[in-house]
Each structure stands twice: as C-alpha cells, then as structure tokens.
C-alpha cells in the first residue's frame, strides 16, 4: 500500500462515508415539545423549529428540478408555493449510497439548511459551508457539522447546501450537447453558486447580512471553496473564505474531462451522437457505472516530481472549461478575482491517521526505519532517502511510524495549503492566514496502539463547536474522533471563535489565543490550534526546504 498524498486525497475522501455519518450530537432538549417559527422568503412562507435559542430551517428548496430533461443542465425555475411550507426535515442528498439518518438520495436534491439565533434584522455574519466527501458523496446534513452551536454561542447565521455530485454534477458535455448544456462539467459548483445567490436574496429574513458572507469547507468542501474563490458567478456573493484540509490548487482540464465522457459513453454502449440516451438512464444505473470508472480523478505529475500537474480521465470533479471555471484555482497564481477577499487556509497535523482508520491500515504502525524506506519508495523513488533524512533531522525523537504519518499528512494536505498561502501573499492584496489544527485525540486506530492524534475530518466537529458538554448536564459522551479528554472542549471553543471572528471581521481572533499575524514570506507565521493556541514562525522550515529542493512544492 503506497502512502496517500494530496494528488489522490479527493479519490480517497470520496470513499469515506463513515466519517460523514458520525453519531448524532445531543443538540435538542430531550422531552420538550418543539416550538415552531415562521418566516417569509421570496418563494413563499416556511415553518421551522426553535430549539434552545436557535431557529432551524431544514430542507428549504433553493433550486428547481434537475431531473428528466433538466439532467446535466441548469435547474428549472423554482415555483412559488402557497400556504406555509414545512422546513422541518433535511432534504434528500445528491445521488450516492444511502446515508444514515437522512432521506434516500435523489436526483432532485437542491435543498439547504439554515441555523440562526433569530429571524430579526440584526445583520449577523453568514457562514456558508460546503460539505466534504470529495465531489461524489456527502450532504449538508452531516451531524458533525450541525450549525446550532455556532449560531447559539457566537451569534452567526450558518447555511449548508445539498448539491449535485459525481457524474450528475460534473459530466462534461459541452462539446457534444450544445448551448443548453454549457457549463455541464460544473453543474455541482453552479448549484452552490445558486445557494449563495439564495443567501443574497433571502438571508436578511433570517437575521443575516447578505453583504458579509464567508464561504468555507473541509476536504472536498475545501476544494469546492477553492473553486468558488475563482468563479466569476460566485464573486458577488461572498467576502471571505476558508480552505480547510482541501487545497484545490488545480482542477480537471476540459481535455481530460472529455476523455472521461468518452469512457462513460463507451461503458454504456452509447455512441457520442446518441448522447441524449444519457437522459434516459436511471440515476441508480449511472451511480453503478460511476463506481466502475477510475475513482475521483487524482492529480498526476507529468514528470513524477512536480505535484498537481494533471488529472487522469475517469473521475468527476470541477472542469476548467474557461467560462464557469476560467482557470485553475491557484495555478499559476492566486485568482485576481478574489484579490481583496481575506483567506484562511490550513490542515490537520495527522491527516493520514483518518485514512489508516478508513482503510484498516495497521501495518504503518509496525514500521521500523528500514520498513519506512520500503513504504515510501513506491511514491518517492530516489527522493526517499532525502525525505527520511530531513524528517529525522528535524524530528530526532520521532519513530518511523510518526515520520510516515508526518510525511503522508503534509503531502496530502499541507504542501497545497502552503502553496496557496504563498501565492495569496504574492498578490499583495487581502491577507491570508495559515493554520495547523493540532489537538491530539487519545483514541487508538483499531488494531494498533497508535493514537488518532489530529486526523483528517476531526476538525469539522471542533470548528462547529460541537465538542461541548451536553446542555442537560449529563456526562459527556466520547467524541467520534476526538476522544474523551475534557481539553477538547477548550480546543473546540478556540477553533469556533477564531472562525466566527474571521466571519465577522475578516481577521481571525479569540480571547484565549495570541494575536494571529497574516502570513508572510519572511517569518511565515502559522497558528497552531488546540486547547492552547500558539503562533509558530517558520514552522516545518526544514521539511519545506527539502520538499522545494526535490520539486514537490
């Protein structure tokens, strides 16, 4: 098993349904009858619930039909309704495998959820989250990203969407299907833009400020945020952004996307001139075919050195079509379109332990340094000795498994995050802030004595302030990834306060954290977020120097 790196992270994340279906948190007050609240939006009146000081509206339609003759196209107009529409349950997620505690996935999936302290005129900052799961799974209803605590404890409005994924969201038909299908390779991203437009048009009714919107997302949601940061259609609807463990430096070139389309048609025995037959294939059959194609297109190096150069055909992700997505998000430079929009970017210190857990990889925990060389060789070849030497020199007390996790984690998510931060600094525009999440979970990876540490996806429940003691005073339950230590509550509060302050002001800050300087190319300050936050200058300097020397950063 070769180590994961950031070229393949979307492919692996697309398989990790378990991380996106973690157990429910105790957000509501048990035993109390629900209180209802109503508000008027552009398309009609809706009814939500009020729970513990938060108004919650789930399953609000923000777009019309995208099935039938609207498949692979922009949505049909959303029709107004009469009377009061209940928005008490989440809407169906995009077509994928069934998800626990959610409706059955459906092709018509354009629904969003809103959490707000009150439907008043307070003009609170809006935090618009794009879920993870690569570009093929996930939803805006995952329990770990419930927005109640952010809204209640930090006086913000939280919005999350379901949107098209996989083949139905990113199949490139522009060269076959004509003008009605323009932008087909980015339908999933344009759905998110429609969600942002809905926020602009409606969020004042929820006590939100349409002129102060932060977009953020983790893993695949970070890559989606990278794309939004580059898209002209999204630009009017947000003011700042955060890319979390999902540095989307490059997306799919349209030539590669066209190869994927040809591959799909071939598997379905459909001639290119008969592409319209795709509209007749049941969505479930398309999902089956999607699973038989190569996984979400990983980044591939042209020279086996420089990362993030190309994508192989076979997977589904946003397409650099020159119009909807005019160019790669952060290659060769940060997008001029968002020059004046502040940015947060960073990653978790132990990203790989999530994938070890998900893939049942216990062998890495048994490595000695000879085994480490063999484990890294398939990925890094002649550079392996340099990599190991640099990491052993910088971390003289680290074991072979610890070095393996460090190398795998930084290549998956860290190098791309640093690359984005550096390119943003070179714009001489709005500031960028670099972070590492470092709270250490004591939970062991099953089958090993190796702790999870700070795995991929653990930051979700922390940044949403969902690592808190139960509101009813009962004993805290073990966190899915975060473990049992009570220090996790302080780490979660710090993370959430930094993010919500950024949403409010464009500068991250928290009462129990030191001042967070903007990133620069001299001192390279990085905020390490945990129960005690600290700013570290030139973090990983020796390791990053090595990665640059071998052409991987």
The number of residues making up the chain comes to 553
Residue 435 contacts residue 348 (beta carbons within 8 Å): no
Tell me how far apart the alpha carbons of residues 230 and 193 are, in angstroms, rounded to a whole number.
12
Alpha helices by DSSP H, 129-170: 148-154, 166-170
Q: What percent of the chain stands above pLDDT 70? A: 91
> Tens of pLDDT along 86-123?
999 999 999 999 999 999 999 999 999 999 999 998 99
What local confidence, expressed as pLDDT, does residue 283 receive? 96
Whether the per-residue pLDDT at 2 is higher than 60: the answer is no
Angle ∠(123,126,128) on CA atoms, nearest 5: 160
Average pLDDT, the chain: 92
> Tens of pLDDT along 271-284?
999 999 999 999 99
Residue 146 contacts residue 466 (beta carbons within 8 Å): yes
Unique residue bearing structure tokens 């949107």: 163
Closest listed residue to residue 124, CA positions, set 205, 235, 46: 205
Distances (CA, A) of 478 to 76, 467, 468, 471, 488: 45, 10, 11, 15, 11
> Tens of pLDDT along 486-543?
999 999 999 999 999 999 999 999 999 999 999 999 999 999 999 999 999 999 999 9
> Tens of pLDDT along 209-248?
999 999 999 999 999 999 999 999 999 999 999 999 999 9
User: What is the mean predicted confidence (pLDDT) over 132-153?
Assistant: 96
> Tens of pLDDT along 283-316?
999 999 999 998 654 443 334 454 444 456 788 9
Q: Which residues are known to be catalytic?
A: 219
- 427's CB contacts (< 8 A; 6+ apart) are 333, 334, 336, 339
Q: What is the DSSP string of 300-318?
A: E-SSSSSSS-EE-TT----
Residue 290 contacts residue 297 (beta carbons within 8 Å): no
What local confidence, expressed as pLDDT, does residue 238 receive? 98
Whether the per-residue pLDDT at 253 is higher than 80: the answer is yes
Q: Can you give 175-242 as a three-state secondary structure string?
A: HHHCHHHCCHHHHHHHHHHHHHHHHHHHHHHHCEEEEEEEEEEECHHHHHHHHHCCCCCCHHHCCEEE
CA 473 to chain centroid: 32
What local confidence, expressed as pLDDT, does residue 311 receive? 56
Q: What is the DSSP string of 390-455?
A: HHHHHSTT--HHHHHHHHHHIIIIIHHHHHHHHHHHHTTSS-EEEEEE---EEEEPTTSS-EEES-
Higher-scoring residue by pLDDT: 452, 34: 452
> Tens of pLDDT along 157-174?
999 999 999 999 999 999
Residue 358 in tokens: 């998900």
| Letter string b/e over residues 377-395, b meaning 16 or more CB atoms within 10 A of that residue's CB | eebbeebbeebbebbeebe
Residue 231 contacts residue 324 (beta carbons within 8 Å): yes
What local confidence, expressed as pLDDT, does residue 306 receive? 44
Return the half-sphere exposure (C-beta side, CA atoms, 13 A cut-off) of residue 469: 8
């Amino acid at each position: 098993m070769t180590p994961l790196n950031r070229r393949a992270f979307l492919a692996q994340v697309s398989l990790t349904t378990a991380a996106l279906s973690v157990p429910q948190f105790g957000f509501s007050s048990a035993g109390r009858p629900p209180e209802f609240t109503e508000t008027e939006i552009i398309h009609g009146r809706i009814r939500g619930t009020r729970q513990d000081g938060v108004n919650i509206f789930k399953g609000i339609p923000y777009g019309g039909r995208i099935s039938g003759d609207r498949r692979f196209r922009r949505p049909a107009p959303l029709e107004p309704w009469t009377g009061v529409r209940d928005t008490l349950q989440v809407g169906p997620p995009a077509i994928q495998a069934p998800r626990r505690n959610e409706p059955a996935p459906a092709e018509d999936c354009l629904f969003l959820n809103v959490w707000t302290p009150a439907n008043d005129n307070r003009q609170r900052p809006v935090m618009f989250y794009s879920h993870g799961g690569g570009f093929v799974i996930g939803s805006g209803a995952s329990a770990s990203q419930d927005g109640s605590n952010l809204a209640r404890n930090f006086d913000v409005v939280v919005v999350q969407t379901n949107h098209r994924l996989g083949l139905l969201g990113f199949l490139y038909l522009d060269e076959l299907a004509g003008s009605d299908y323009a932008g087909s390779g980015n339908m999933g991203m344009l759905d998110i833009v429609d969600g942002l437009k809905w926020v602009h048009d409606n969020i004042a009714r929820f006590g939100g400020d349409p002129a102060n919107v932060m977009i953020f997302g983790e893993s695949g949601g970070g890559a989606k945020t990278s794309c939004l940061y580059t898209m002209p259609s999204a630009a009017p609807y947000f003011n700042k952004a955060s890319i979390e463990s999902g540095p989307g430096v490059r997306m799919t070139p349209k030539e590669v996307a066209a190869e994927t389309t040809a591959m799909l048609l071939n598997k379905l025995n459909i001639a290119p001139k008969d592409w319209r037959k795709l509209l007749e294939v049941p969505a479930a059959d398309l999902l089956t075919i999607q699973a038989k194609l190569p996984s979400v297109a990983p980044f591939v190096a042209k020279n086996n050195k420089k990362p993030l150069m190309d994508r192989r055909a076979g997977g589904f992700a946003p397409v650099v079509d020159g119009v909807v997505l005019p160019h790669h998000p952060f290659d060769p430079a940060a997008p001029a379109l968002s020059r004046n929009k502040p940015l947060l970017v960073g990653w978790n210190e132990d990203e790989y332990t999530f994938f070890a857990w998900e893939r049942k990889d216990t062998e890495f925990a048994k490595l000695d340094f000879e085994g480490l060389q063999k484990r890294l060789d398939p990925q890094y070849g002649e550079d392996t000795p340099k990599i190991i030497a640099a990491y052993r020199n910088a971390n003289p007390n680290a074991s072979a498994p610890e070095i393996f996790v460090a190398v795998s984690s930084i290549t998956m998510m860290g190098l791309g995050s640093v690359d984005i931060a550096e390119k943003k600094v070179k714009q001489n525009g709005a500031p960028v802030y670099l972070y590492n999440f470092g709270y250490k979970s004591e939970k062991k990876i099953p089958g090993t004595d190796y702790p999870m540490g700070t795995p991929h996806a653990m930051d979700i429940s922390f940044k949403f302030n969902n690592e808190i003691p139960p509101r009813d005073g009962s004993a805290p339950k073990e966190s899915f990834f975060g473990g049992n230590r009570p220090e996790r509550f302080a780490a979660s509060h710090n993370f959430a306060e930094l993010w919500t302050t950024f949403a409010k002001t464009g500068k991250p800050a928290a009462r129990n954290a030191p001042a967070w300087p903007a990133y620069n190319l001299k001192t390279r300050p990085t905020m390490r977020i945990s129960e005690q936050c600290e700013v570290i200058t030139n973090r990983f300097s020796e390791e990053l120097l090595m990665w640059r020397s071998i052409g991987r950063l």
